[in-house]
Amino acid sequence: EPTQDHPLLRNLNGPQQEAVTHTEGPLLILAGAGSGKTTVITRRIAWLIEEAGVRPASILAMTFTNKAAGEMAERVQRLVSVPAEQLWVSTFHSFCTRILRREGDRTPVGRDFVIFDPSDQRSLVKQVLADLKLPEKQFHPKRVLELISDFKNRCLLPEEAVEEALDPWTRKALEAYKLYQAGLRSHKACDFDDLLLYTERFFREPAVQAAYADRFRYLLVDEYQDTNRAQYMLVQHLARTHKNLCVVGDEDQSIYGWRGADIRNILDFRRDFPEAVQIKLEQNYRSTQQILDAASTVIANNTQRLGKSLWTDLGLGEKLTFRLLDEGRLEAEYVVERIRHERFRFPDGRFAVLYRANWQSRQLEEALRAANMPYKLVGGVKFYERQEVKDLLAYLRLICNPFDLVSFRRSVNSPSRGVGATTLARIEAAIPEGGTALEGAAILLRKGELKGRAQREMGRYLDLFAAAAKEASSQGLAALVRWVLVESGYVRMLEEEGTLEAEGRMRNLEEFVSAAADAESLGLRLAEFLDRVTLASDTDELEEASLLSLMTVHCAKGLEFPVVFLVGMEEDVFPNRNAREAEDGVEEERRLFYVAITRAQAKLYLTAARRRRAMGQEVLGMPSRFLRELPEDALEAPIRWGTELYRAGQGTFGSTRPAAGGGGGSVASELNRIRGLFAQVRGEAPAGPGPAAAPDPEPVPPQPAPPGGTWPRGTRVRSPRFGRGVITAATGGGDMLTYTVRFSDGERRIVARFGMLERE
Ligand code: ATP
Ligand code: MG
């Protein structure tokens, strides 16, 4: 019989104890943030071993990230001494890898399979597309891979996905899926999703199922709300007979819908196990009352929830601080200043600065460096070390210094120009005495030694550098960077890819343009700007030990910090600008906001900027709708809404550019568009004043939709690259205006400022 005194139950409340000591039968713990779900899981593992006499190797605990799995294993080992290799505490993927390796030839993948990483996957799918003669322009490898991954997450092999392929594009892509699978087989390879897929299939066999159910008598799953269908099925197979399955989760923290997480899995649990015991945990041990109130009030706006209440006895605590700053740089500086201040109160506390999307780290990183404050970027790469940023930097460096061979090698094939290693070697061999690689390439080109695609593309590449000097001297820095992005074909490459990942990269590049605009306003020239960037990416050894973490909200799931800063509380940032399009989009963003708030233990800061640069141009932001949902009582000072909020701002809301075809007649060629961009930056554009030409415009109140220039849904358009289509949605405004267009081969998202769309 459990007693309070048992060391493993010490400090636990009644329902927590009940959960820890409930050893047999299905158990569902649905509870809000910070209520001790993860704590219960670890204590339960220890309890099973120590009190119920279960062999450690019979317990299987699963979670989502390596970090979480590592922490869980560590916590268990602190409670009971078990050799690490006996504990099956892991992520779903590493569990599956272990199973497939053990089972060797009983599964289609064999024992010695290799795991393909994203670049291996890409080369394979490219090969397949070429075999099928599917043009990459319409069937972008990454988009096809996205579709494949989506099918796999739903446990569908090609032949099982036939009914899902309703449109011609998907039918073709499905053929690619079939060949892609065959390709993996012939390489004796698995991709990441296959690990789950094949393990799930393997467990379907009754004999296997029985053997493994016997092997793993007790299953525990943390963050259950984020399981996808394949993970769900996998757990089902193992638990079906003995039903010793404990899942913990919070439907309000389901934030991976875009990756196939299926909230139905929680709801179905009770259908699959009608006898399940359900335990509610309602006491929150993490946050003070003010923080908890804010979180509860916000999430109450969601309709798709089971509903629950949370209380805390940690006291009322401090109110939330919201601060609206004039611009992004000041926002970052404000955060730095507050961190300094809070250090006095929490000298050893870990702090977190959270943001919605990776591009937002740039100004924070710069402000922290300027203040000499060490930080670590969790789950991400520092801004200036991101692949696309380094690619762009290679172009700029080469413009500055054509002798830079490293930058030549990097830029020449990003985007790909069909220049292989042999051609590259020939170019380098052709470099004249004391000359540059660009000259080497020009020589080969003139001699006619480059053929076909390489000839064409290298011609353009060299043109870029030939024109660059002039551009650099006649244009501002931001305009130059933007020009390079377009001329290099980089924007086009990302646009054609059309995946979420590509969009993230695009946002980073836009943020880079903004960095250039910042530098320009300080009067820096290209070379000086590059020097600054180089210094900014110089790595700091203190970082690992730093108490300050920067990360996305997604990355912060399950973690807690005494002080949390949540930056960028603006519409189209948080909620993200794609959210409005997706069904359930805003609700998922709100869950994300709930996750963010509930990371804070003692103090939560929220910040926003009135103006932010987008593609180097200043736009007025609108404060996030989520701020309105915060209870006024929980805030240090009420938020002043309406035009008042904008008095201090300048410029007009929603930027100024006539987006694709703003007034009907659209820009016909990319060249005109670039010229338009330049004119805009110089403040010459007739359509709307850029920042330079806007001495004191009337403040414009926030509006739900960008004014003017946006074509309505249903508009028939024509794209030089993708042909005819119909607009199905528009998001963002001005520079960020993005259309979703349905073409005959499927939907694409097209950034208006680059898409060259024409109205039919
Ligand atoms: P999330 O939903 O964010 O994943 P969670 O429900 O998993 O949160 P935990 O991380 O387990 O919550 O616990 C939150 C905090 O509360 C931790 O610091 C944990 O140590 C503490 N805690 C949990 N239960 C108790 C308790 N009974 N007494 C004191 N502290 C507790
Ligand atoms: Mg947890």
**pLDDT tens-digit map of 678-728:** 334 333 333 333 333 333 333 333 333 333 467 888 888 887 667 788 888
Q: Name which of 281-285, 484-488, 747-751 the model is least confident about.
A: 747-751
**What per-residue confidence (pLDDT) applies to 541?**
53
The rounded Å distance from CA 37 to ligand 2 centre is 5
Nearest CA to ligand 1 atom 24: 36
Confidence band of 676 (pLDDT split at 50, 70, 90): very low
269 has a pLDDT exceeding 60 = yes
Rounded average pLDDT over 80-107: 88
Mean pLDDT of the chain, nearest integer? 84
What is this structure's pTM? 0.79
The rounded Å distance from CA 285 to ligand 1 centre is 6
* Binding site listing for ATP: 31-38
Asked whether 363 and 355 are in contact (CB, 8 A), the reply is no
Q: What positions carry a catalytic annotation?
A: 37-38, 222-223, 253, 599
pLDDT digits (tens, 9 = 90+) for 598-650: 999 999 999 999 988 877 777 788 889 999 999 999 999 888 765 545 444 33
| Ligand nearest, relative to CA of residue 596 | 1
Distance CA 533, CA 369 (A): 11
Tell me if residue 723 falls in helix, strand or coil: strand
Query: For the CA atoms of 301, 304, 309, 315, what is the dihedral angle to 10 degrees?
Result: -50
Asked whether 741 and 757 are in contact (CB, 8 A), the reply is yes
439 has a pLDDT exceeding 70 = yes
pLDDT digits (tens, 9 = 90+) for 153-200: 999 999 999 988 888 899 999 999 999 999 999 888 899 999 999 999
Question: Alpha carbon of 418 to those of 451, 452, 455, 457, 486: distances in Å?
Answer: 10, 9, 9, 8, 19
Q: Name which of 94-108, 176-190, 588-602, 656-670 the model is least confident about.
A: 656-670
Which atom, in ligand 1's list, is nearest to the CA of 13?
27
* Binding site listing: 31-38
**What per-residue confidence (pLDDT) applies to 583?**
67
Tell me if residue 690 falls in helix, strand or coil: coil
Which atom, in ligand 1's list, is nearest to the CA of 12?
27
Pocket residues: Cβ below 6 A from ligand 1: 11-13, 16, 33-39, 250, 253, 285-286, 558, 560, 598
**What per-residue confidence (pLDDT) applies to 757?**
76
470 has a pLDDT exceeding 90 = no
Give the percent of the chain with pLDDT over 70.
87
Asked whether 374 and 548 are in contact (CB, 8 A), the reply is yes
The rounded Å distance from CA 223 to ligand 2 centre is 7
| Substitution site in 16, 29, 39, 255 for ligand 1 pocket (most atoms within 8 Å of beta carbon) | 39
